[in-house]
Structure 1
């Protein structure tokens, strides 16, 4: 019962925030950014493997949110809607990437606003030691993630890192619930294959050492 009440309260708060966003209130925009900016950046980074690209896409995501908030119909949660925009924008950039040279993405060649935006996205609550530990833990996983097929990577990140439900992922990606579960399962299996060390091959009997006399 408590969960239902909490859910209704959260839904009312979200509807109020959406209404204030539609009215163009700066406080509502600031609230939205404080809640979703860092999670969206982290999510996009895990899809693109580039901090500069992730910053650009995150910026574009919120520009789209601000411009299109009037089109939000409430048939899904605001969070789901924002993640759907993030997936779309990240996919667009990946398609652009495959049609152009990688060098055009250099951080130094971008506008000076990008550096400032990246500074905002740094988690200042982590000390240097904690950051190193976190990076060590994530490095192997992220390396394996970037080798996955895009649809598998999106599904696994949304489920296992972002903690979204199967239903939310289906709404975000626009596919059926069964497809979502299949992508997650296959993505996890692919990750396991890449992360686990190969099993040692048994020594051939012809190579067995003779006993020492």
Structure 2
């Protein structure tokens, strides 16, 4: 796809095969404006949704998403395809979100807000859709009522790391075990272990309800 100059050309080669993704990466490294427009269009909303679930604040999520793409743009020359483009971007997003969350706990958590929680581009506590790939093994199976969904979202935020992030990537982002392993830079066995322990922790938190 070298030399592609239109969004249509780029969109037709969305990274479903390594050869096509390599071509997109080549365009990005060459500074193609169309390639960067495609990148933002393809990943901005997913990255924002992921970051929001970590930081739980619309404004912080928006700021962090901007930081993520700045890191992506500046770091593209250092991307050599050791992982997929998606998992590389998600890895940056998780790192930036974790930094923002740590900052929040050190500084912003001491502030008192009188504003109610609001939805953020369709992502809110009440709108968390907990449809899991592994339905038989999921603590979300019986979640049907709106209030219960809200409670699940609240309790999910209380699950300790690294189990919480693994739950988010698998059960909300619906990433494969292999993708999660790449994003977190851990083994498949570690992913499955964290997922099991995270789901158990969430089940225990939901037991009173």
Corresponding residue number in structure 2 for 1:205: none
> Which of 55, 65, 79 in structure 1 is aligned with 2:62?
55
Distance 2:15 2:29 in 1: 21
SS in 2 for 1:144: helix
Distance 1:183 1:73 in 2: 28
Output one character per residue of 1:110-137: Cα deviation in whole Å (capped at 9) or x when no partner.
xxxxxxxxxxx735xxxxxxx9973647
Alpha-carbon distance, 1:138 to partner: 4.3
Corresponding residue number in structure 2 for 1:122: 121
Aligned partners of 1:21 and 1:28 also within 8 Å:
yes
Structure 1 or 2: more helix by fraction: 1
Matches within 5 A, 1:17-36: 17-36=24-43
Output one character per residue of 1:90-122: Cα deviation in whole Å (capped at 9) or x when no partner.
11112222322426798x9xxxxxxxxxxxx73
TM-score w.r.t. length of structure 1: 0.72
List alignment gaps of at least 5 residues for structure 2.
Answer: 1-12, 129-145
Tell me if 1:166 matches 2:207.
Answer: no
Indicate how the Cα distance of structure 1 residues 105 and 52 shifts in structure 2: closer, same or farther if over 3 A, else same.
farther
Moved over 6 A (4+): none
Output one character per residue of 1:36-81: Cα deviation in whole Å (capped at 9) or x when no partner.
1111111111111111111111111111000001111101100010
Matches within 5 A, 1:76-95: 76-95=83-102
Indicate how the Cα distance of structure 1 residues 191 and 18 shifts in structure 2: closer, same or farther if over 3 A, else same.
same
Indicate how the Cα distance of structure 1 residues 37 and 105 shifts in structure 2: closer, same or farther if over 3 A, else same.
farther
List alignment gaps of at least 5 residues for structure 1.
Answer: 1-5, 109-120, 124-130, 199-213
Corresponding residue number in structure 2 for 1:43: 50
Alpha-carbon distance, 1:196 to partner: 3.5
